[in-house]
Amino acid sequence: MKITGIRIHHVEWERGPYHWRDGIMPNGSTARTALLRILTDEGIEGWSTYSAGANVEEIKYQLIGEDPLNRERIWQKFWRNLRTSSLGLAVGPVDCALWDIAGKVQGAPVFRLLGGMRDKIPAYASTVTLDSLAEYMALAETCLEKGYKAIKLHAWGRLQEDAALCRALRELTGPDIVLMYDASSMFNLFEDAVWFGRRLEEQDFYWYEEPLDHFNVTVLARLAKELDIPLAVAEATHGGPWDALAQIQAGAADIILTGPLDAYKGGLTGVLKTAHICEGFGVMCAIHGGAIAHLHAACAIYNTKYFERLVPETYYGPPGIHDASIEIDSEGYAAPWDVPGLGYEVDWDWIKTHQIAEES
């Protein structure tokens, strides 16, 4: 089997107002993503969602003529060229699409090829940033009604107001729901990060995510020593498995975040490498992101505990690309479909009417 080409379908749709923490420009009401297709001479295609940014001709240069089942060879080709290219933005989606091909060839879901640690995993509800405490409480109640047993806050990045939100959420959920907090690297001062970490400890939060500048390993190591609550770090850093190793050895990480579609993390192949490094140090490897590739990754590896389900679900998933990632059962578990590959169902009529560009 040989790779003969790629196609990238860029689509957009209306999802309603959307913003993140203070200081990050609102994204507006229009969402955009892309569907990457890797084509082969045997008619089997590999699919993955794709955020764009890499040079298509460079992607083709690395792929055309390769056997898509030689994933490690292709991964190394991409990775060895990151120094002077934008391929770091493509290696994740490309690798996921290659695993999709492998699953279709083998007739098995990708998580089983990756290791098959479990066939379902608890999902946590990971919020968008909302405008008021009341909105957060309403969203949390909805999540609990759906069966979620864990919730992660993306808040405003305001010390006092975020602390009040965390207290209110704990009062709402009671002691048995797992809570996490993601600062999105908001706090610039060590003292502020310590103060807020203490507030999270008072409310028995499970982890404290990206509290400070994510490249400042020195201050993160200081913070990890100062606090009891585990720090979850490395979501936005580059370097994939090797960065994870550096963070752990520096004492900056209690939990490493990685994701198969994150820039410069290395796709599903990179997730496996990162998870094995973390396992060697007894460190949790938490999967960041809520796409279907993330669900397969979370079900495949030993040292992770949750799947991140972004809520409200309609903010993130394109209506014309369906998969198991937005489904949870009454006990709060998510599970990939038992179908070959990653398990995408594509409404090509929707793609046609919402496509804004196509690259090949």
Q: Which H/E stretch holds residue 287?
A: strand 284-287
What pLDDT, on the 0 to 100 scale, is given for residue 22? 87
Q: Per-residue pLDDT tens for 5-50?
A: 999 999 999 987 778 888 887 777 888 999 999 999 999 999 999 9
* Structural domains in the chain, sorted by start: 3-107+345-359 (3.30.390.10), 113-334 (3.20.20.120)
The C-alpha angle with vertex 110 and arms to 108 and 114, in degrees rounded to 5, equals 115
Which residues 6+ apart lie within 8 Å of 126 measured at CB? 151, 152, 154, 182, 290, 308, 309, 310, 311
Write the single-letter amino acid at 206: Y
82: pLDDT confidence band, cut at 50, 70 and 90?
confident
pTM above 0.85, yes or no: yes
Phi, psi values for residue 298, rounded to 5°: -65, -30
Cβ atoms of 74 and 35 within 8 Å: the answer is no
192 by Cβ neighbours in 10 Å (0-12 / 13-18 / 19+) ranks as middle
Number of CB atoms found within 10 A of residue 141's CB:
12
